[in-house]
Amino acid sequence: MLVLSGIAVVILGFALRFNPLLVVTLAGIATGLAAGFDPVAVVAMLGKAFAENRFIAVAWLVLPVIGLLERGGIRERARTLIVKLRGATAGRVLTSYFVIRQLTATLGLTSLGGHVQMVRPLIAPMAEAAAEKTAPLDGETRDLIRANAAAVDNIAVFFGEDVFIAIGSILLIRGFLEQYGISVTPAHIALWAIPTAILAFVVHAIRLRLLDRRLARRKTVAE
Amino acid sequence: MIGLEALYILVGGMFAAFAASHALDRSNPKRWRSAVFWGCFAVVMLAGSWLPHLASGVLVLVMVVLATMGLSPGKDVTTEEAAREASANTLRNRLFLPALAIPAITLAGTLLLPVVRSGGAPLVDPKQVTLVSLAVGALVGLSLALRLLRTGLATAAAEGRRLVDAIGWAAVLPQMLAALGGIFAAAGVGKVVAGLATGYIPMTLPLVAVVVYTTGMALFTVIMGNAFAAFPVMTAGIGLPLIVGKFGGDPVIMSALGMLSGFCGTLLTPMAANFNIVPAAVLELKDRNAVIKVQAPTAFFLLFANTALMAAFVFHR
């Protein structure tokens, strides 16, 4: 039971809005100590686990490219394209991105997207520009549109990738069931991801239409 | 053979450049915070494989202390909005090419690199093809962007630093969470939580077992930040013995929908930093939970839908 102290630290720390990096580190230390390791061993455990997970940082290699392109005006260019496009709204821009992201994910192309590569330089500026066509954006509305852009990137890929038979989660399910002597085909697992994939699109597309309505109301209030 | 070590040198070198750029920034009296933070990270990236674990751990603790104090990066050197506007008008759609080259090359590399061999051995470590492809994509994108903007690596480092300053300590949070996951596993946290769920909820009805399994997947993912960590624990604890064993449900339908229920949890938790906290930092949002708040209604609906689908179909063979 004592090993759960780490979870308590996490819940309390996030609830009190401490720095997440501090919260997570303290949770690790608390868990290690509760499991009976001495403090020096716990710090070494932390260092070992941090070093073992360095592969996660490889994704940051795109930072210089995206930074350079922003300097070159990629966000401004993305905005210009949307301003020229008649009928573009924030919701429609994001729904289109949802469709592209989900369909490519069902083909296993999960790298076609991402918050640093796609959302920040392209998708968020496009959605913001579309919303600005009706009325200028205040900081709060801009943040709302950006948060929606990030959410679309997540939801579309989560509920798209499981339709692809060679994705990590399907391989995990298959490997796990095999340990228990249940042999299954990846295609069968993938098949059962399709209903949720369709529902995810329908529900989120409706919510994006509601976002558009909310943004349009903002205009009438402004007038 | 090109593997993770080569990538770590590349990433470590990049963060070392960011650290150096901070150290040289004399206009910022607090420049050492950022310089030491990114410097420690660069050292762990470069030397993590042979550094004593305790040394890596101490470097990590130094980073945490600095992040808690606040990194206070100095002003970033970049161009004005007018200059960007002008640049956008001359470069036009060519600006998109380097950005699109990254996923295109990542994909091509993932498909082609496994068959490239040098001197009888594979050129790239077969287990790391995706990451190596991503790195190659980033490098090709970088060289295209440098040519397009007619500038040098120093500008690339400055612009990269501008982005990493905007993201701040959140950039290392996913790695720290993965480390926490490792410690949780070593301490056996998952088994204790699953024991609590199975021990205290009476599951005499198939529907109750389904509801406990799907919400358990979501809740456990919220705590651990990762559906992959929740799946084996919940499926071994509740799914297989009860839904499949006791009530005769279909393991495939159960597993597929169970995993997707876990994904609903991923949308709801700051513990899934890569998806929820990092983008809030990347997009420079005031509220670090803004992305989670937007995702919550969809996540709850889909959790309900997964539960309903499982209840309707899992017991009909």
Q: How far is B149 from chain A (nearest CA, A)?
A: 6
Q: Which residue of B has its CA nearest to A37?
A: B187
Q: Does residue B95 surpass a pLDDT of 80?
A: yes
- Which residue in B4, B41, B160 is closest to A64 by CB distance? B160
Residue A166: the pLDDT is: 79
Q: Do A6 and B231 lie within an 8 Å CB cutoff?
A: no
Q: What is the DSSP letter of A137?
A: P
Which of B193, B255, B261, B307 to probe by mutation at the A interface, max A CB count within 10 Å?
Answer: B255
- Which residue in A24, A54, A192 is closest to B257 by CB distance? A192
Q: Which amino acid is it at A207?
A: R
Domain final residue, candidates A28, A52, A76 = A52
Q: Do B228 and A168 lie within an 8 Å CB cutoff?
A: yes
CB of B266 closer than 8 Å to CB of B226: yes
Q: Do A147 and B275 lie within an 8 Å CB cutoff?
A: no
B48 and B195: one domain?
A: no
| Alpha helix positions (H), A35-191 | 39-52, 63-71, 74-84, 90-106, 124-132, 139-161, 168-179, 186-191
A68 and A37: one domain?
A: no
Residue B182 placed within a domain: no
Total domains in chain A come to 2
Q: Rounded distance, CA B292 to CA A147, Å?
A: 8
B301 and B199: one domain?
A: yes
The H-or-E segment that residue B303 falls in is helix B290-313
> Which chain B residues are Cβ-neighbours of A84 within 8 angstroms?
none
In sequence order, what are the residues at sequence separation of 6 or more whose Cβ sits closer than 8 angstroms to the Cβ of residue B214?
B257, B258, B261, B303, B306, B307, B310
Q: Is the torsion defined by CA of B116, B119, B120, B122 positive or negative? A: negative
Residue B265: the pLDDT is: 98
Q: Rounded distance, CA B289 to CA B19, Å?
A: 28
Q: Which residue of B has its CA nearest to A158?
A: B263
**CA angle at residue A143 from A139 to A145, to 5 degrees?**
120
Mean pLDDT, residues B9-26: 96
Q: Could you tell me if A62 lies within 8 Å of chain B, comparing CB atoms?
A: yes
Q: Rounded distance, CA B138 to CA B132, Å?
A: 10
**CA angle at residue A13 from A12 to A16, to 5 degrees?**
85
A132 and A105: one domain?
A: yes
A135 and A33: one domain?
A: no
CB of A20 closer than 8 Å to CB of B180: no
Residue A221: the pLDDT is: 63
How large a percentage of chain B has pLDDT more than 70?
Answer: 99
Q: Rounded distance, CA A17 to CA B124, Å?
A: 43
Average pLDDT in chain B: 93
| CA nearest to B294, candidates A195, A22, A124 | A124
B161 and B37: one domain?
A: yes
B242 and B297: one domain?
A: yes
Residue B231 placed within a domain: yes
Q: Which amino acid is it at B73?
A: P
- Parts of chain A with a pLDDT under 50: none
pTM: 0.93
B263 and B286: one domain?
A: yes
CB of A9 closer than 8 Å to CB of A23: yes
| pLDDT digit string, tens, across residues B54-78 | 999 999 999 999 999 999 998 887 8
Q: How far is B176 from chain A (nearest CA, A)?
A: 6
How large a percentage of chain B has pLDDT more than 90?
Answer: 74
Residue A37 placed within a domain: yes
> Which chain B residues are Cβ-neighbours of A21 within 8 angstroms?
63-64, 67-68, 169-170, 172-173, 176
B275 and B217: one domain?
A: yes
B125 φ, ψ (degrees, to nearest 5): -55, 115
Residue A183 placed within a domain: yes
Q: Do A28 and B180 lie within an 8 Å CB cutoff?
A: yes
B199 and B245: one domain?
A: yes
- Structure-token pair, residue A200: 């995810």
Residue A219: the pLDDT is: 64
Q: Is the torsion defined by CA of B275, B268, B304, B208 positive or negative? A: positive
Residue B183 placed within a domain: no
Residue B317: the pLDDT is: 60
B224 and B261: one domain?
A: yes
- Structure-token pair, residue B7: 């990538």
Q: Rounded distance, CA A115 to CA A124, Å?
A: 10
Q: How many CA atoms lie within 13 A of A149 on its CB side?
A: 34
Residue B121 placed within a domain: yes
- Structure-token pair, residue A153: 């990137």
A192 and A218: one domain?
A: yes
Q: Which three-class secondary structure state does DSSP give residue B124?
A: strand
Q: How far is B259 from chain A (nearest CA, A)?
A: 8
Mean pLDDT, residues B170-197: 85
Q: Does residue B198 surpass a pLDDT of 90?
A: no
A221 φ, ψ (degrees, to nearest 5): -65, -40
B247 and B125: one domain?
A: no
Q: Does residue B196 surpass a pLDDT of 80?
A: no
B49 and B166: one domain?
A: yes
| pLDDT digit string, tens, across residues B207-245 | 999 999 999 999 999 988 889 988 988 898 889 999 999
| Alpha helix positions (H), chain B | 4-23, 31-47, 53-69, 81-91, 96-112, 129-149, 153-167, 173-187, 189-200, 206-224, 227-234, 251-266, 273-282, 290-313
Q: How far is A91 from chain B (nearest CA, A)?
A: 13
- Which residue in B183, B301, B305 is closest to A45 by CB distance? B183
Residue B229: the pLDDT is: 86
A76 and A129: one domain?
A: yes
Q: Do A27 and B91 lie within an 8 Å CB cutoff?
A: no
Q: Do A73 and B156 lie within an 8 Å CB cutoff?
A: no
A17 and A67: one domain?
A: no
For B210, the domain range is 188-313
- Structure-token pair, residue B74: 């100095």
- Which residue in A48, A70, A117 is closest to B56 by CB distance? A48
| pLDDT digit string, tens, across residues B103-143 | 999 989 988 988 888 888 889 988 888 899 999 999 999 99
CB of A188 closer than 8 Å to CB of B252: yes
Say what angle helices B81-91 and A63-71 make with each other, to 10 degrees.
90
Total domains in chain B come to 3
CB-defined contacts A:B, below 8 A: 393
Residue A223: the pLDDT is: 55
Q: Rounded distance, CA B112 to CA B307, Å?
A: 40
> Which chain A residues are Cβ-neighbours of B138 within 8 angstroms?
61-62, 64-65
For A105, the domain range is 62-222
B112 and B135: one domain?
A: yes
Q: Do A57 and B11 lie within an 8 Å CB cutoff?
A: yes
CB of A121 closer than 8 Å to CB of B163: no
A114 and A211: one domain?
A: yes
Residue A57 placed within a domain: no
| CA nearest to B90, candidates A38, A37, A74 | A74
